[in-house]
Each structure stands twice: as C-alpha cells, then as structure tokens.
Amino acid sequence: MQSAIGYRQVIVTDAQLGLTFPVHVLYPTNALAQRIPVGLYQLDVAPDAPVAPGSFPLVLVSHGTGSSGLLHRQLAQALVGQGYAVGLLEHPHNNRDDDSWANTPQNLVARPRHLQLALDTLLHDAHLGPALYPEAVALIGHSMGGYAGLAAAGGQPAAVGPAGAPGPAIPVPAADARVRALVLLAPALPWYAAPGSLRGVRVPLLVLAAEKDEYLPPAHSEQIMRGVPATTPLTLRVVPNAGHFSFLTPFPPQRVRPDFPPSQDPPGFDRPQFQAELAREVASFLAQQLPPGRGAAG
C-alpha cells in the first residue's frame, strides 16, 4: 500500500547560541510506508523518501512549553494529505526532555527567532527546499507556540511586570514576510497586553480558544486579540467544552491518566473526534490563504 507521507528530520543550527534543534518534517511522497519510531511514537511514514513531484506550501508548528511538536502529529498528517509540508519543531530548552528555559526571558527571545531559523533551514534544505513555495508559509502555535507565532508575524511582545503591567519590549525579529497565515490554538498572550503590541500583525488569523482552559481563559484571548488591526482578517472561535490540552493528538491508552494533565480533557469532551474537526477547520482556513499544493497529494 502506498503512503502519502514522507518523513525527514532536519537539524537547525543556532550559531549565535551555539546549539542545534530538530524539526520533524512530514511531506507528500509516492513512496511506500513503514512503521518507524519517531520520538516516543510510531509513525507510518516513508523515511527520507523523495518528495512527491510538485510544489507545496510549508506549515511550521510551534508547540507549547515543555511539550513536543510530535504532539501535533495527527494534525500534521492530515495537512500533508491536503498538499502541505509540515515541520514540527522541538524548541530547545523548552521541550519535554529539557525545559530549563521555561518561564525565562531567554525563552521569550529565542522562540520566535528559532521559528525563523527553522524556516530558513527548511527552505534551503537540499532534499526539501526545491519542493516548497518560498513565499507561502503558515505558522501554527499552541500555547507558548501562539506567543512565538505572533512575534514572527509582526507582534511586539513586552515583558510582564508587577501586577501584569507591561514592561520593556522583548527583542524579537522583525515580521517575516514569508509568513502568510497564522493559526493560534489556546495561545499564551500575556506578553501582548501593551497597547499597539499587535498592530504589526497583518496576516490572516484563525484563533481557537478552549472554553474550559484552566491556564488561558478564552476571555483573555478575546481581549488581547482586539489589538489586531481592524484590517487584519481575524476568525476567533471558542471550542465548546475543550480544555487547554484538547488540541493535542490523543495519547496512547497507557499514557492516559489523571496525573498526566496533557492527556486529560473536560468530562464529556471527545478529543479524537475533535482532532478530525480541527484538521478540517485548519485545512479550510489555510486553503483560503496559501496557494494549494500541486502534485500527487495536491
């Protein structure tokens, strides 16, 4: 049986900080699949297979604090089926294996920069780059990934001072003109409370908040996103009964337990069913913003 999903790990180098980090890339291919271990999971993919003939938009996914890009693998696989190449970052020092930068100024500076470095690396990769549209990129960010995505798309975050008052501006790269669409899932937004912090965000946005988010209440997202210019297309929806982690791929049964919050949802919420709905909504949004992939999967 043929697989429409290739897999390749690409290593990104941050020469300034003297570190590297991986990006797990899923992309259209005509090669045969095999089940291989990728991180803690088993994926049915064609490792290092040729990219299917054609040209495909690139989607980068930025995970939440202490998490992993692979926790969005189901969404990524669905998007590949729609003709996208998807890169799942593992943010250095803010992932499940090493979370030493959590809640630090260093992390706030590094995350948007690492999105840009990942984009540069993938677009120039000898294997993948020739098949990617260079000026048609979308960013998807969950929680802290939402913070990073907004910064990469033109937001100017500021440190959070006493009692939540905005502090000094956080040094982040200028808006990346290659980014044409932004999807925010339960985004972490306290750093955008200062007036004018989102006036530089000009790309279309799809923002999905969780009704029962115990960390980032949907009212917070609704309030902060009012700072986006009126001319910026914005869709903001509150997902009924969803929790903060409901946007993640369902965990294997042996990892679903009450003392592991990322595996838990509010009572009655059907995460597997929602994942299918999420994939359709995101794919529909992206199809309106990016040129469609052309090729075997497009």
pLDDT for the residue numbered 3: 55
**Structure-block tokens of residue 97:** 């294996």
With respect to residue 97, please indicate whether it lies within any of the assigned structural domains: yes
Tokens of 135: 């000026």
| 212: CATH | 3.40.50.1820
Residue 210, in any domain of the structure: yes
Higher pLDDT: 294 or 40? It is 40
pLDDT bin (cut points 50, 70, 90) of residue 291 is confident
Task: Examine residue 1 and state whether it is found in any structural domain, yes or no.
Answer: no
Three-class SS state of 9:
strand
Question: How many distinct structural domains can be found in the chain?
Answer: 1
Q: Is residue 36 part of a domain?
A: no
Q: Is residue 37 part of a domain?
A: no
pTM value is 0.96
In three-state secondary structure terms, 127 is coil
Please state, in angstroms and as integers, the Cα–Cα distance from residue 131 to each residue in 33, 149, 220, following that order.
Answer: 20, 23, 39
d(CA 8, CA 27): 8
CA distances 288 to 26, 181, 208, Å, are: 21, 9, 17
In terms of residue numbers, what domain contains 134?
Answer: 8-24+49-295
Q: Is residue 297 scored above 50 in pLDDT?
A: no
35 near 4, Cβ under 8 Å? no
Assigned domain for 254 exists: yes
Contact 77, 5 (CB under 8 A): yes
Q: Which of 234, 163, 230, 220 is nearest to 192 (CA)?
A: 220
Query: pLDDT tens across 207-261, in order?
Result: 999 999 999 999 989 999 999 999 999 999 999 999 999 999 999 999 999 999 9
- pLDDT grade for 79, boundaries at 50, 70 and 90: very high
Mean pLDDT of 63-70: 97
Mean pLDDT over 105-116 rounds to: 97
pLDDT at 166: 85
Task: With cut-offs at 50, 70 and 90, classify the pLDDT of residue 298.
Answer: very low
Q: Identify whether 119 is part of a domain.
A: yes
Residue 7 clears pLDDT 60, i.e. is over it: yes
Determine phi and psi for 61, rounding to 5 degrees. -115, 125
- Residue at 43 is within a domain: no
